[in-house]
Amino acid sequence: MSSMPIAGRLAVVEEPDRVLVVSEDDPSDWLCAFAKADGFPAGRWAHDMARTYNARLELSRASSRRPPAASDR
């Protein structure tokens, strides 16, 4: 696992005993693993984590493309 910040989107990879949240660009680089044990909703947690991160990433990218406000000129 890399120590560099994640620049791109996240994805989810299901394995027999766990669900991984991974870098979409490099699925071998996982950030988080949720164990499938004792009825824990590992898939839901992983998908929620990836969805939330990806939504915030898109908002961040959209706000950085906006022209500066008149007060910033």
| Tokens read off for 71 | 């007060």
Amino acid 61: pLDDT: 78
42 CB-contact burial (10 Å; exposed 0-12 / middle 13-18 / buried 19+): buried
Work out the average pLDDT over 10-31: 96
| Tokens read off for 30 | 């996982």
Rounded to the nearest integer, the mean pLDDT of the chain is: 87
| Tokens read off for 62 | 């959209």
Query: Rounded to two decimals, what is the model's pTM?
Result: 0.77
- Confidence check: pLDDT of 67 > 70: no
- Confidence check: pLDDT of 2 > 60: no
